Amino acid sequence: MADIDLQALKAKAIEDMGGKNTRVVVGMATCGISAGARPVLEALKSECALQNLDNVKVCLTGCIGMCTYEPLVEVFEPGQPKVTYIHMNPEKVAKVVEQHLKGGKIVEEYTIAGDPSNDAKCLEDLEFYAKQKRVVLRNCGIINPEDINEYIAMDGYQALHKVLTSMSADDVIDEVKKSGLRGRGGGGFPTGLKWSFAAPNQADQKYFICNADEGDPGAFMDRSVLEGDPHAVLEAMAIGGYAIGATKGFVYVRAEYPVAVERLKIAIKQAKELGVLGKNIFGSGFDFDIEVRLGAGAFVCGEETALMASIEGKRGMSRNKPPFPANKGLWGKPTVINNVETLANVAQIINKGADWFRSFGTEKSPGTKVFALGGKISRTGLVEVPMGITLREILYDIGGGCPNGKKFKAVQTGGPSGGCITEENLDTPVGFDELVAIGSMMGSGGMIVMAEDNCMVDIARFFLDFIVDESCGKCTPCREGTKRMLEILDRITSGNGTEADIEKLQDLADVIKNTALCGLGQSAPNPVLSTIKHFRDEYLAHVNDKRCPAGVCKALQSYFITELCKGCTKCQRVCPAGAISGSVKQRHVIDQSKCIKCGACKANCAFGAIIKK
């Protein structure tokens, strides 16, 4: 279609988004919906209609930011600072509509300023945002992801138009190469270089795949981009398709992301209707179509060869490389696979140039990185920071450190494929090579924080349990080796381990790392090796002293009744194992041989007389 006037569409879209009217957005990513945003959105629309507020436009948006304050509502009035309402519900909506949207007076007690725990006037004043730079997330929380016109208002599809009307395929690849963009899905392979491998290969069909199979525990970066800005991914796929000569694209996304899937389908439909996907895009003669393919949630399908097998309708299992996908990929054809976050950078690199992208970040790791902050951290949520920022800045300046005065112990980056980073390395700059140098990796961006009350042996067991469950089973080292490692960790955490078991873990880990078929299997032992390296004393306490220093491993816990006991008999009555004996008004006793360590006695003691050791 040659008659798409993007500039005219952009001008109209900007006017429709706000113009002289008031715009109200409700955070409707998965985080907001789960916190109760849907009835808030419905109440806003209903109240505005009831009050005949024709000058107010109410719409949904993606993740606004700090999920702690969900449900979030933001009000944009012409010539006025943005107002953010926090912890909203339908009851509060009526007052906001009546007093603010109709009467012009902000309801201060519902805003950040009304939160006694901080003195910020708006979300942007919070320390959580001070060191962030939104590139990938630039439209999330601002545009309506279900309206292509709002994406166009933010320069959407300008990069695709530029590419198809004024750049050759080699020009595109060279610009991406110059930017230094590296894959945000794990290993950090240069994106432009990957494209250049596929471009010269001759074939009757080539494919471009977006890997949205985000499987790391605690990771939700890609999901948030798809929920808040799906067109950024579609536009980048079309640009990548043009660069390598592909006319067909697939977004492989897990079915557990229903909101992301629905918005992707809406975005693809709208893009086809407008003509920015499909036949003869912008009259250039270039055709590109995209399909959504759902995965069943197998972690191994995040590995590119297993992902392609799944798209082909086969069991998701890795295969040997070479041949690499750029030469022989989906259905044996040249294929490029990039993850969601990587692609979300592409259009901006084309629009603003490689030098702009290199103006932040580091020499070897330009740009930004999105992290999902979770675990024992005061301010959980999605953060986007320039590469080169230190881990300490992320965890303390942005995340607020561990809650309730707990002492920081470690942070796990890279998910099951990564490793734990301790206090001594917190001043390490965030970059692909820097994290590998200290025994971890960037991964897709999950960042799980552990405090003093986390058992590092149990953390290692958690990740191994995940790996064992998710192994595709194709190669013996991963299929059998990880099971044996998990059995040893189960022995240690149940109090039946020995020092020899620690050595066995290391030996098995070395074998698996050197012989497993794919990168996921080869990196599976990393959390175990990392915790043994940094927290060997905890392993020794488990095997020699039969004690869990953090008090986490249930089999190594014991409950005792102290002299504070008043003999009320409540603990005796709630004990399901009949392990507590004693007379009224006399100190009770726990029979350790009968105790099942459920903690019911401690939870029900009104006098704090029961302790756990």
How confident is the model over 208-228, as pLDDT tens digits?
999 999 888 888 899 999 999
Q: What is the dihedral of CA 335, 336, 339, 340, to 10 degrees?
A: -90
Best CA proximity match to 248, nearest among 210, 205, 212, 286: 205
| pLDDT top residue among 538 and 16 | 538
Supply the pLDDT for residue 458: 96
Q: Give the strands of the sheet with 446-451, arranged side by side.
A: 381-386, 368-375, 446-451, 408-413, 419-421
User: Which of the two residues, 115 and 483, has the higher pLDDT score?
Assistant: 483
Percentage of the chain exceeding pLDDT 90: 83
528 DSSP assignment: H
Give the span between the Cα atoms of 511 and 521, in whole angstroms: 11
Cis peptide before 322 (omega within 30 of 0): yes
Residues 312-342: pLDDT tens digits?
999 999 998 999 999 999 999 999 999 999 9
CB-based contact 543:499 (threshold 8 Å): yes
Res. 2 pLDDT band, cuts 50 70 90: low
Strands 248-254 and 207-212 turn out to be: parallel
* Cis? peptide before 39, omega within 30° of 0: no
pLDDT (0 to 100) of residue 158: 97
Q: Which residues are 25's β-sheet partners?
A: 59, 74
pLDDT at 446: 86
CA angle 179, 183, 185 (to 5 degrees): 155
101-158 per-position pLDDT tens digit = 999 999 999 998 887 777 777 777 788 888 999 999 999 999 999 999 999 999 999 9
> Taking residues 591-612, what's their average pLDDT?
93
Higher pLDDT, 217 or 550: 550
DSSP 8-state code for residue 388: T
Percent above pLDDT 70 for the chain: 100
* pLDDT of res. 112: 84
Query: How many residues would you count in the chain?
Result: 613
Distance CA 555, CA 494 (A): 5
Kindly tell me if the per-residue pLDDT of 307 is higher than 60.
Answer: yes
For the stretch 354-409, pLDDT in tens is 999 999 999 999 999 999 999 999 988 889 999 999 999 999 999 999 999 999 99
* CA pair distance 541, 274, nearest whole angstrom: 64
pLDDT at residue 525, rounded to an integer:
94
Nearest residue to 210 (alpha-carbon basis) of 295, 296, 144: 295
Q: Tell me the average pLDDT of the chain.
A: 94
Strands 368-375 and 381-386: antiparallel
Q: With contact defined as beta carbons under 8 Å apart, do 472 and 298 qualify?
A: yes
Q: What is the pLDDT of residues 15-46, one digit of tens each?
A: 888 777 899 999 999 999 999 999 999 999 99
Closest CA to 69 of 108, 112, 38, 109: 112
Residues 6 or more apart from 319 whose CB is under 8 A from it?
A: 305, 309, 517
Burial of 102 (C-beta count, 10 Å sphere; 0-12/13-18/19+): middle
431-456: average pLDDT = 91
